[in-house]
């Protein structure tokens, strides 16, 4: 899974290399104000709740949602889940954002055709003092048929990824990472990416930090282009890699620059990551024209698709 954002990273080279040292001319300007990029995630609406437990029953929590007043939602703790874990789960930004999504304009509960009756909290993974991953099962009923819709949720929240394109001697290269991905059972060639580590929705700042941590170079906020900002507003300017089971939403960003060929050579094979946390990352540099059939990474393929369409329609800053 992706590494926790904000950890102290140890690079095997001397230190992260500033782009100024590479003599990279910054060619981009911000097309979208930072405030516009950060406004997407606002504080969720409050909801009424009540927790209770008896010696003979598991922990329960009652929630009243504005879209189904008079129909409280029961939240239960699965066997083995501690009181502190249960409380942390229902108070987490992951769970609150999911509830907010249910009632948004395109939300499942917005049109009144479905109803949420129960949520079973099955597991939590803590990243320090906060919940990094949350697993639960939601009982959502289609009122027309009376049947449940598939409701198993792996919540991990928003994340970012960056398509870095460096031009050198007439060839454009993409900068990627190669790292162990245990869920796939494989070593995967992918774009640098990471999870947001707070509730502020700082997609741009997280993208810049992640590139420094995984690649070892420093980018500036004003040189980032938000590719997901080109999507239709009905999408919420979000990309969902696996909506059938996971809530993860991605912000896709682009950086373009020019470098000397020796910089490409220095980046290729560079080892980064925090070894004590099991992060074994190698930087790989691939000719951009070969990227689409070189990587199995959905993030890279989505970024390529939006980048190429935005370029075709003249939306990219010159």
19-39: b (≥16 Cβ within 10 Å) or e: beebebeeebebebebeebee
CATH number for region 158-313:
3.90.79.10
Strand partners, 236: none
Output the pLDDT for position 19: 46
Domain extents in the chain: 60-155, 158-313
Residues of the chain with pLDDT under 50: 1-47, 53-56
> What is 213-233 written as a DSSP string?
HHT-EE--GGG-EEGGGGS-G
User: What pLDDT does 51 receive?
Assistant: 53
Q: What is the pLDDT of residue 223?
A: 87
19, two tokens: 């782009």
CA distance 294 to 124: 35
Instruction: Decide if 3 contacts 277 (C-beta within 8 A).
Output: yes
Task: Determine the pLDDT at residue 206.
Answer: 80
Note if the pTM is more than 0.75: yes
Do residues 33 and 271 lie in contact, with contact meaning Cβ atoms separated by under 8 Å?
no
| pLDDT at residue 199, rounded to an integer | 58
pLDDT at residue 10 in the model? 37
Tens digits of residue pLDDT in 13-63: 334 444 444 444 333 333 333 334 333 444 444 445 555 544 445 799 999
pLDDT at 6: 39
Contact yes or no for 195/210 (Cβ under 8 A): no
Q: What is the pLDDT of residue 48?
A: 53
């Amino acid at each position: 899974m992706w590494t926790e954002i904000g950890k102290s990273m140890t690079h095997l080279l001397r230190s992260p290399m500033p782009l100024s040292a590479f003599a990279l001319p910054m060619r981009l300007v911000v097309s979208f104000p930072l405030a516009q990029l950060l406004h997407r995630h606002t504080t969720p609406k409050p909801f009424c709740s009540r927790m209770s437990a008896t010696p003979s029953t598991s922990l329960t929590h009652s929630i009243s949602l504005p879209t189904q007043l008079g129909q409280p939602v029961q939240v239960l703790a699965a066997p083995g889940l501690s009181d502190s874990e249960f409380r942390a789960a229902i108070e987490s930004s992951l769970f609150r954002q999911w509830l907010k999504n249910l009632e948004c304009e395109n939300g499942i509960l917005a049109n009144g055709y479905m109803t949420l009756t129960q949520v079973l909290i099955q597991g939590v993974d803590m990243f320090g003092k906060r919940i990094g991953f949350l697993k639960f099962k939601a009982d959502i009923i289609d009122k027309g048929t009376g049947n449940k819709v598939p409701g198993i949720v792996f919540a991990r929240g928003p994340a970012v990824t960056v398509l870095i394109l460096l031009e050198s001697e007439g060839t454009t290269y993409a900068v990627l990472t190669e790292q162990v991905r245990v869920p796939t059972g494989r070593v995967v060639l992918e774009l640098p990416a990471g999870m947001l580590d707070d509730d502020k929705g700082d997609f741009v700042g997280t993208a810049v930090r992640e590139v420094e941590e995984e690649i070892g170079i420093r980018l500036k906020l004003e040189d980032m282009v938000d590719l997901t900002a080109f999507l239709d507003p009905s999408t919420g300017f979000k990309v969902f890699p696996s909506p059938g089971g996971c809530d993860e939403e991605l912000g896709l960003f682009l950086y373009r620059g020019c470098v000397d060929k020796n910089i490409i050579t220095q980046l290729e094979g560079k080892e980064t990551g925090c070894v004590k946390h099991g992060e074994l990352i190698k930087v790989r540099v691939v000719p951009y024209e070969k990227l689409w059939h070189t990587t199995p990474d959905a993030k890279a393929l989505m970024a390529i698709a939006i980048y190429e369409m935005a370029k075709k329609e003249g939306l990219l800053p010159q």
